Structure 1
Amino acid sequence: MLFFSRWKVTLILGAVLLGILFALPNALPSDVRSKLPAPMQRTLNLGLDLQGGAHMLLEVDLTSVMEQALDNERENIRIGFSDERIRAEFIRVEDNAVVGRLRDAADMPAAMSVLRSQSELIDQTSLNQERTTSVEQQGDKGFRVEITEANIEAIQTRTIAQSINVLRRRIDPTGTTEMTLAREGDDRILLQIPGAKNIDEIKDRINKTANLSFHLVRKESDSDAMIRAAVENDRVPPGAAYFPMQDGFSGLIVDKRTRITGECLKSSSEGLHPQNNYPIVNFNFNIKCARLFGDMTAQNIGQRFAVVLDNEIITAPRINGAIPGGSGFIEGSFTIQSARDLSLLLNAGALPAKLIIVEERTVSAELGNDSIQAGKIASILGLVGVGLFMWLSYGLRFGTIANLALSVNIILIAAALSLFGATLTLPGIAGIILTIGMAVDANVLIFERIREEVHVGRPPVNAIETGYRRSLAPILDANITTLIAAVTLYFVGSGPIRGFAVTLAIGIVMSVFTAVIFARLLTATWLRRSRPKTLPI
């Protein structure tokens, strides 16, 4: 137990040295740190409660999502009936359902077949056979289609998950901001952004919907009477929609249905017009939509198509020829900054639902500095108190060994957190302080066992070797059970609880290493060099 081969000593000291190197950047100024190799530039990220930032609670407008889902069902039913030549007196959304009435009762069997075929399994991979809609015949000619409860729950879950993903891409496109995005309850999202300076810019990114679509302009747009009817009376031809121009001029009547939307975008970026040198937004479609866009432009040469963003027409150029390859640019009244902002929103994708800020707090940096100072003071007091206890309880030599192991333990924790890019919060500091107290538990077990062996008359080498060997099992048992609790907290909890669990788990692993391996190396080295006849413990 007390013999260490050369390669073991090299590995142990190498691990400690690496820990020191990775922890050192936290104590260096940023200008000095920037000159270090890339892996050594990583430092502990401070959380919202330490460096200040934004805290928001967002409510997802699920009502509009369900309304859109019902509109989609109505449109699918209308198209399905049209394909099967089934005539209906009306198909409308009423009382959270799609209701309709046929003109001819003889069409009811075919109509019910269409309605049932459009009710799909919610999850094709699951054994659960819940379907998207329930269909009910009402009388000889009527029908009612409702979205099932299981589908409503699936739509809500999917909407919140999509909203979280879009927010993450919008606010942190590079993935370097250690922000918190988590679901809260049934319809809310918690957003915390450490170090946020411009809160208004973040709110603008949240409020933008960025719904992009491409529509063919209909010939009715050339009629002033049709445009006036659309603006004043909201009357448009069947299958059409009216959108105003973004620049404030009169809008256009376009085909309502389109298969080319913002979901088709592969990428977008700001740029300059190749001829006139004004800001534009370049775009590239994915393979499927590139083919659709090429076919649409090839079949409609001479017609105009409208680029619609958030229900406003940005531009409506004329198609002068087929546009293969699925790439092009959007031009409008852009500045370089607005083109950059739009490309960022398009890359992130459209929010599936409107988000309402129901709670907003700004944590000042001053509060963070106070928290950091309080954490430092608590850590120092805890470290000094534990160090004094070990010296008083086990003497200068064994107390020094325990305190050196504790110091290395703290350095390794800082190194691991820096290397993983972890975010340090107040609960994380609490985890570190708790680790300081727990770190010496293993040394206490070992030293007490050594003391017992000395009392029964064993010689120094035998007492130390027996103490380390017989203490190993209880040390591992105690730390493994605590590690299980920390891992459980990490996977079950969120936000601050996870921060506490991370520091606690890393502290446990480092404590076992420093107490069982590093401290034993120090003990063996001292024993081999001093060769004491009695142990000062």
Structure 2
Amino acid sequence: MLNKFPLWKNLMVAMILVVAAVYALPNLYGEDFAVQVSATRTTTVDSQVMGRVEDTLADLDIAPKSIVMEDNQLLVRLSTDSEQLRAREAILRELGSDYVVALNLAAATPDWLAALGATPMKLGLDLRGGVHFLMEVDMNEAMRKILGQMRDTVRTELREERIRYTAVERDGNAINVTLRTADDYQAAESYLDGLYEGYVLLENEAARELTLRMTDAKVLETQDYAISQNVTILRNRVNELGVAEPLVQRQGADRIVVQLPGVQDTARAKEILGATATLEFRMVDNENSVREAEMGRVPFGSELYPNRNGGNVLLTDDVILTGDHIVNANSGFDENQRPQVNISLDGTGGEKMSLATRDNVGNPMATLFIEFKATGERDKEDNIIFERKEEVINVATIQSRLGSSFRITGLDSVQEAQNLALLLRAGALIAPIQIVEERTVGPSLGQENINMGMQAIIWGFVLVLAFMVMYYKKFGMVANLALGSNLILIVGVMSMIPGATLTLPGMAGIVLTVGMAVDANVLIFERIREELKAKRSPQQAIHHGYDSALSTIADANVTTLIAAIILFAIGTGPIKGFAVTLAIGIVTSMFTAIVGTRAVVNAIWGGKRIEKLSV
């Protein structure tokens, strides 16, 4: 029988539309202003913390919509943005720096939808839905770290050349080398002269001292490198967080702007982005007494560090390896089901680890964890003062010569192992950073532009609906039903795709899709009219109209889809958003126009004896 779909095909169309509608529903519920409280490495969020937050809000006469604790986090939903800001400041004062207190926009999705995995689609910052961070880089620490690496390099080079020295130390933007004998001085002068680009060799033969001073051009280059490297590493960390269409860019001499559209867990984003942590691997000094060092008599060439498990550990000054050589890090469990981090090194790091452990089998090696935290104070030059926290997280005896893969144990929790692995995998920041400004961002193009964009979609939709009804009568109403279904499908699919983000250009893509979606129906309906004029019966006209238009519709939409794919491949930011919306709209419009309208037309007119079609 002509123009009759089998039951399974009708059920398939209905099921696709129902699923799309369910996943599109969360977008109707909007978002709540919220404050998110997360624990740092040394604390936990429990019922006692929740009680303190509730008491703090009661003192401010703020009635929260809800306070929920899950996954070691506390989410406080509030009614207005002013309550959100007041609550954050008060909670931060109450809990102190042991907790991460961040602004958030929490989806107001009902529990039954959330249980199905339905979430609202992500919105770009231009459509209100993200967090803006302004970060400041500590340039003093960047220079200290880079010159510290230079000092270690000079020591290694002189040892390999068998040139004896009494001291190699950093002094400001220079490295001072003191030689043992006049012969050593002559050999070092000959070897170091012109060896390092960007450094000038200054001589003091009377004191047997050579100074490698960094040139002004090298200082600027190093500072620029520190900023650029931090930007790259922050991008890696944002990618690890799974943020769609982020913005990470340099602003001025020592600041970085980070915008995270559609972020739900801003507390974790703030902790990961702001964390400055790295590792150093050093040998334990077994030749000197820890007790003597604790009394203030630290031997030359060694340093005393606190042990996380209690007490102190005496380590040598020489750094075997830093976190810069780590290429991959994953959290896991050891044979006793305790958390650990499995680390892979690059080629250079593997060689350094192999050389250092070759002659130290049976000796203990320590893993030194270094973290920087902002004190909130500034120095005379208006730079943020950071507190450097160092602790030994693991001391293990070297059982055999190590290579490019090994593991770190002695971690307190699975969350700590995951965070440490993420930081090491995404890269250790060259210099510590402080979030100096944090805010939720409204539409960057202004609410008026957003309203005009919505009006464009609505008016375009209404005019198309009116035209189709007037020109194609009852068949035009079927096309309008398909057009409405197409919008539901677009929103539903974008809500299901984790990386899809709706931006203002994306709204333009929807407007374009509204016009393109009826093109297929226009082709089909015109073919049906031609078949009727050729004296075919209504059933044959419907059948041949859909079949004849199919190849033309496919050709037109495939070429547009190719253009959308190219835009997505070579475009960035807003261009990608437009391409994603356009591509999804093309696919869904083909489905609704070819399959959806055919199902409705078949249900109404198919298989019946009719004399005339309202088309």
Do the structures match in fold with TM over 0.5?
yes
State the one-letter code of the partner of 1:329: G
Q: Compared with structure 1, are the counterparts of its residues 315 and 432 closer, same or farther at alpha carbon in structure 2 (3 Å cutoff)? A: same
Q: Compared with structure 1, are the counterparts of its residues 259 and 283 closer, same or farther at alpha carbon in structure 2 (3 Å cutoff)? A: farther
1:45 aligns with 2:125: no
Q: Compared with structure 1, are the counterparts of its residues 188 and 472 closer, same or farther at alpha carbon in structure 2 (3 Å cutoff)? A: farther
Structure 2 residues without counterparts, runs of 5 or longer: 27-108, 204-209, 372-387, 401-405
Cα shift at 1:391: 0.7
Match of 2:502 among 425, 443, 446: 425
Match of 1:24 among 5, 22, 25: 22
The alignment's TM-score, normalised by the length of structure 1, stands at 0.65
* Matches of 2:589 and 2:394, distance apart in 1: 67
1:487 aligns with 2:565: yes
Residue 90 of structure 2 is matched in structure 1 by none
Match of 2:249 among 170, 184, 193: 184
* Matches of 1:115 and 1:14, distance apart in 2: 72
Given that 1:101 and 1:143 are in contact with CA atoms closer than 8 Å, whether structure 2 keeps it comes out as no
Match of 1:207 among 247, 270, 274: 274
Cα shift at 1:513: 2.2
* Matches of 1:348 and 1:204, distance apart in 2: 12
Q: Compared with structure 1, are the counterparts of its residues 345 and 412 closer, same or farther at alpha carbon in structure 2 (3 Å cutoff)? A: closer
Cα shift at 1:515: 1.7
Cα shift at 1:220: 7.5
Residue 349 of structure 1 is matched in structure 2 by 423
Match of 1:507 among 585, 593, 602: 585
* Matches of 1:136 and 1:22, distance apart in 2: 67
1:113-139 CA-partner distances (Å, limit 9, x unpaired) = 9969xxxxxxxxxxxxxxxx7999999
May I ask how many residue pairs the two structures share in their alignment? 479
More helix per residue: 1
SS of corresponding position for 1:299: coil
* Matches of 1:97 and 1:17, distance apart in 2: 71
Q: Compared with structure 1, are the counterparts of its residues 152 and 517 closer, same or farther at alpha carbon in structure 2 (3 Å cutoff)? A: farther
Query: Percent of pairs identical after alignment?
Result: 29
Cα shift at 1:17: 1.8
Match of 2:410 among 318, 329, 345: 329
* Matches of 2:359 and 2:110, distance apart in 1: 54
Residue 414 of structure 1 is matched in structure 2 by 491
* Matches of 2:359 and 2:508, distance apart in 1: 61
The root-mean-square deviation of aligned C-alpha atoms, in Å, is: 5.7
Residue 362 of structure 2 is matched in structure 1 by 299
SS of corresponding position for 1:409: helix
Match of 1:312 among 362, 365, 389: 389
Given that 1:54 and 1:360 are in contact with CA atoms closer than 8 Å, whether structure 2 keeps it comes out as yes
Cα shift at 1:82: 0.8
Q: Compared with structure 1, are the counterparts of its residues 267 and 524 closer, same or farther at alpha carbon in structure 2 (3 Å cutoff)? A: closer
Cα shift at 1:67: 6.3
The alignment's TM-score, normalised by the length of structure 2, stands at 0.58
More strand per residue: 2
State the one-letter code of the partner of 1:184: Q
* Matches of 1:269 and 1:83, distance apart in 2: 38
* Matches of 2:4 and 2:279, distance apart in 1: 67
Tell me whether 292-301 or 310-319 shows the greater mean CA deviation: 292-301
Cα shift at 1:443: 1.6
SS of corresponding position for 1:515: helix
State the one-letter code of the partner of 1:212: L
1:83 aligns with 2:164: no
User: Relative CO higher for 1 or 2, CA cutoff 8 Å, sep ≥ 6?
Assistant: 1
Residue 529 of structure 1 is matched in structure 2 by 607
SS of corresponding position for 2:119: coil
* Matches of 1:109 and 1:293, distance apart in 2: 27
Given that 2:303 and 2:314 are in contact with CA atoms closer than 8 Å, whether structure 1 keeps it comes out as yes
Given that 1:382 and 1:436 are in contact with CA atoms closer than 8 Å, whether structure 2 keeps it comes out as yes
SS of corresponding position for 1:163: helix
Given that 2:393 and 2:410 are in contact with CA atoms closer than 8 Å, whether structure 1 keeps it comes out as no
SS of corresponding position for 2:276: coil
Match of 2:520 among 442, 455, 461: 442
State the one-letter code of the partner of 1:256: D
SS of corresponding position for 2:614: coil
Residue 262 of structure 2 is matched in structure 1 by 194
Cα shift at 1:327: 6.1
Cα shift at 1:390: 0.9
State the one-letter code of the partner of 1:419: M
1:179-236 CA-partner distances (Å, limit 9, x unpaired) = 554443698463315365766x7545433212233544543865569947x8xxxxx8
Cα shift at 1:432: 3.0
Structure 1 residues without counterparts, runs of 5 or longer: 117-132, 231-235, 275-280, 332-338
Match of 2:234 among 163, 171, 176: 163
